Chain A
């Protein structure tokens, strides 16, 4: 096993890894559950599953247009009671778990006066939140 004697870094990595493991496991479990509910029809999808073969060869913008889903997170989030949107919500959670991991290490870097790295983490969080906000959606 490799050794790194930088105690501050090890503490940050240990917290990041722990939160990442927890977030990934939760995200994957939710994804599998949501997908089972979706494909079995236990939770009715917004876009009927039988209709997908006539839609999945279309560009994403055309798919949204034909199904009446708005671009941006509010487009799918307001339909989250449907099976297909539940799967998207689980995917969003899986993607977003690194935001929480980064937020967790900011105080550790800050306390050790590694202000530059803390700033890099905060900027990364800002970029991810901007991407998640849907403000960049057409």
Chain B
């Protein structure tokens, strides 16, 4: 195809939504085996390589993260991998702070936000590459807030058949972390699985699989509602993104037991590094 013809296709309204659907489909496929939410991949890649304003990308990013959680939610409860009682307090805190994050994000100039997004993605990458979660953290004593909220349970490992009684600790510190997690999620339109799981597992002492399953319910729709009411949800951007990511996630879930999670995770981290550098360079005007 000649350069002129390609430019003409790019100028047509249908090119970018179609490209968005295809990209989101592939992101959905790799996100599930890599154990990351779609939003953390979606926002830097689409912000870096698509012509949409960052406001619309962040709005769609929140929906992408939310749709994954909504789709997986019922199954997670049915399998006993999510705990509603554990999800509710962090979700409330993250809701309030994500609204604040969304409002700040929508008020900031795009270039400053693009730079901050690039730096945040690189910081998330460093966290994801360095944090080593613990399958069954040792908690000797629960704290009064965890007792009052009933943050305990019994988890049976399907592979070993063993039952593990668990209880949360350091609840005030854990909940305080969700203030920051909510702000970042709301400001940049990212999902928060990368932070929810370490906060629940490493700080509050929740078994890894329960933390990972419950994490989906800590993603709050509150910030997405702010974006909707501020005009930052564009149907032509949001709908293909949600559809592509949901379809891709279905394939990704089937590939879960076929492909090497380590290989896919490395691929995703490399993708995030590239997208983070690209977003930062775009914000700095080095790579427009």
Contacts and interface: CB of A to CB of B under 8 A. Distances in A.
Interface of A: 1-6, 9, 12-14, 16-18, 20-21, 23-24, 27-28, 31-32, 34-35, 38-39, 49-50, 52-53, 56-61, 63-64, 69, 71-73, 75-76, 84, 87-88, 91-92, 94-98, 105, 114, 116-117, 120-121, 123-124, 127-128, 130-132, 134, 136-138
Interface in B11-34: 11, 13-14, 16-17
B14 to A, nearest CB: 8
B73 interface: yes
A69 B231 contact: yes
Given A16-B77, A117-B85, A132-B225, A4 B235 contact: no
A95 B231 contact: no
A136 B80 contact: no
B145 to A, nearest CB: 10
B85 A2 contact: no
B239 A17 contact: no
A92 B231 CA distance: 12
A39 B14 CA distance: 9
A17 B155 contact: no
A69 B70 CA distance: 29
B246 to A, nearest CB: 7
Q: Which 6 A-B pairs rank lowest in CB-CB distance, beginning with the nearest?
A: A2-B80, A87-B235, A17-B77, A60-B232, A131-B225, A60-B55
The range of chain B's interface size is 35 or more
B89 to A, nearest CB: 6
Nearest to B14: A39
A13 B53 contact: no
Q: Secondary structure of the A side of the interface?
A: helix
A31 B242 contact: yes
A116 B148 contact: yes
30 contacts: A2-B155, A2-B209, A2-B210, A3-B154, A3-B163, A4-B80, A6-B85, A6-B153, A20-B74, A23-B70, A35-B243, A56-B16, A56-B56, A58-B53, A64-B231, A71-B229, A71-B230, A75-B229, A75-B231, A91-B242, A92-B225, A95-B228, A96-B221, A116-B149, A117-B85, A127-B92, A128-B95, A128-B222, A136-B229, A137-B230
